[in-house]
Amino acid sequence: MRLNLPTTAVLHDLATGVAYSQAQIKQQMTLWQELLLGYGAQRIALAANSSVQWALLDLACLDADLLLVPLPTYLSESQLMHVMTQLEPDFYISDQELKAAEFTLLEQVGDLLLYRRELQSSGSAIPVTCQKITFTSGSTGQPKGVCLSAQSQLDVAHSLLERIDQQAPKHLCLLPLSTLLENIAGIYAPLLAGGEVLIAPDSLRGFSGSQLSNPQALLGLISSTAPKSLILVPELLQLLVMARAQGWQAPESLEFIAVGGAHVSTALLQQAARLGLPVYQGYGLSECASVVALSSVDACQSSTTELELVGTPLAHRDIEIIDDEIVVKQPFLGYLGDAASASDKVFTGDLGELDAQGRLRILGRRKNLLISSLGRNISPEWPEALLTQSGLIRQAVLVGDAQPYCAALLYLADAKAAEQLPAYLAHVNQQLPDYAQIKAYQLLSQPLSLADGTLTANGRPRRAEVVKKYQREINDLFVSNDLTGEPYEFLSKAR
């Protein structure tokens, strides 16, 4: 497979100010390919922050059909160990110096260090046509590796070109490049359209790890670079809306702001529309190589009813609704280590419907999955099990769907133990990645029970009933809407 980039394609390194022309992109891709093929690399793990070299390596592997596994930087140590055991990469590329005996440094290309890794086992079998494995946030504690072919990724990129139809795109990458949505829609699609892609490191984007620590840096970057397009999760859209309402001027160049990764409230979209932000809703999932559906008109031109829709499926997509569940009819290579998961259909787990015009409406999730406003998947049973394992907390219910952080409703085994909670929560949070950590809590004066309808017969929380009964308390846990990424002060309001 060969990437056919138009002569006008440009990769712009905002850290150095260097712009790579199409010819220079191809030259750098060839360098990476010769290096990796020369060393006989077969399974390449990439664990690094966003950079132009990250993008060039990714493009080189896509072009040569080399297996690349971009690893999110937010994985906890136990999650990373799980990934490495399953994958057993023979090469590991990082922007950090590694001291462990299993890694041997071979080369440095730009800010990336190429290590040969001593294999512990053969690892899980990988489908023959798999070119990329993207790891989900780990809704059950351990991330799932989604196997994708090069063709499936390029199909999405080309369909996005057709849907967006933007002349000479200029895209600023704000999400980490390991995020599949940014990877495909933010790098491949604009470059294939002959456009310019601007890439900045975490510090210039105002990020520290997966947390936004400097919103002003992010806003300043958007203003100074004057892009035509952005891809945002709901939390970043909220930031733009708040900043715009307080006087920040979005650059006139902005034509297309895609928002996805988690549920977007109609109220937020209405706010964005009133402020003139050209926001387009989308829907997708990793198993489908990201985008499945995308709005053709922005929020400014949409009625309230239309704001509840996420658009029509992309040109190469075929969607059906089976037992109220959204099902995408496309080949799925399966999950790493689970050959039986391969299928000719992707059952999304999302409930939805298609209107008379073929536009998709998302109605909820079949399972209890929480999706934060930053797009991270969290199974509540996972942190809840950690919270209750010591006996200090008798009952715990995690909340935080469509919110920037997780919080919990807690009932103590002994009310006198409340003073031990901050230290215990800090201990629990050390065992969780940052997106699943508990940032605030509400003490309950009464336990959940079968009698009041908040508990099932086998002792599991009835989540819808819990949310209904404690809606006011839950709302209080998220009133700060702090976007700085600073640690939240633990709350303890007993009612």
Residues 322 and 404 in one domain: no
Is pLDDT above 80 for 495? Answer: no
The pLDDT mean for the chain works out to 91
- What's the pLDDT at 326? 96
Last residue of a domain, one of 321, 336, 365: 365
Does a structural domain hold residue 101? yes
In this predicted model, what pLDDT tens digit does every residue of 393-447 receive, in sequence order?
989 999 999 899 999 999 998 888 899 999 999 999 999 999 999 999 999 999 9
Per-residue pLDDT for 388 more than 80?
yes
Name the 3-class secondary structure at 427. helix
Residue 494 lies in a domain: no
Is residue 349 located within the same domain as residue 468? no
Greater confidence, 252 or 464?
252
* Whether residues 271 and 413 fall in one domain: no
DSSP assignment, residue 306?
A: G
d(CA 160, CA 255): 15
Determine the 3-state secondary structure of 116 from DSSP.
strand
What does the pLDDT read at residue 138?
A: 56
- The pLDDT confidence band at residue 261, using thresholds 50, 70 and 90, is confident
- One domain, residues 227 and 344: yes
pLDDT band of residue 130 (cuts 50, 70, 90) is very high
Q: What would the two tokens of residue 96 be?
A: 């950090």
Q: Which of 40-54, 79-93, 243-257, 263-277 has the lowest mean pLDDT?
A: 263-277
d(CA 375, CA 72): 13
Confidence band, pLDDT 50/70/90 cuts, at residue 77: confident
172 in a structural domain: yes
Q: Are strands 325-328 and 346-354 parallel, antiparallel or unpaired?
A: antiparallel
482 vs 115, residue with greater confidence: 115
CATH number of the domain bearing residue 29 = 3.40.50.12780
- The whole-number pLDDT of residue 101 equals 93
Q: Are residues 322 and 388 in the same domain?
A: no
The verdict on 395 and 361 lying in the same domain is: no
What are the Cα distances from residue 259, in Å, to 77, 130, 235, 324? 30, 28, 10, 24
Q: Is residue 371 in a domain?
A: no
* Ramachandran quadrant class, 165 (left: phi over 0; alpha: psi -120 to 50; beta: rest): left
Q: Are residues 306 and 414 in the same domain?
A: no
Cα-Cα-Cα-Cα torsion 39, 45, 50, 53, nearest 10 degrees, comes to 10
Structure tokens at 123: 């690892």
Kindly state whether residues 437 and 464 are assigned to the same domain.
yes
- pLDDT over 70 at 76, yes or no: yes
Asked if residue 238 and residue 91 are part of one domain, the reply reads: yes
Same domain, 358 and 386: no
pLDDT cut 90: percent of the chain above it: 73
pLDDT bin (cut points 50, 70, 90) of residue 64 is: very high
Q: Is residue 472 part of a domain?
A: yes
Using DSSP's 3-state secondary structure scheme, residue 182 falls into helix
Q: How many domains does one find in the chain?
A: 2
Are residues 350 and 224 part of one domain?
Answer: yes
Q: How confident is the model at residue 491 (pLDDT cuts 50, 70, 90)?
A: low
Calpha distance 138→152 (Å, rounded): 22
- Domain of residue 410 covers 380-477
Is 43 contained in some domain?
yes
pLDDT at residue 483 tops 60: no
Same domain? For 206 and 303 the reply is yes
Q: Radius of gyration (Cα) for the chain, nearest Å?
A: 23
Contacts of 448 (CB under 8 A, 6+ apart): 395, 397, 411, 454, 455, 461, 466
User: Which pair of structure tokens corresponds to residue 289?
Assistant: 């190589």
Give the CA distances from residue 277 to residues 241, 251, 359, in Å, rounded to whole numbers and listed in that order: 8, 10, 22
CATH of the domain at 388: 3.30.300.30
Most confident of 35-39, 322-326, 430-434, 458-462: 35-39
| Direct distance between the N- and C-terminal alpha carbons of the chain, in angstroms, rounded to an integer | 62
**Confidence category of residue 452, pLDDT binned at 50, 70, 90:** confident
Does residue 28 form part of some domain?
A: yes
> Could you read off the pLDDT of 147-175 as tens digits, one per residue?
999 999 999 999 999 999 988 899 999 99
Assigned domain for 156 exists: yes
| Strands 279-285, 256-259: pairing kind | parallel
Q: Which residue has the higher pLDDT, 301 or 364?
A: 301
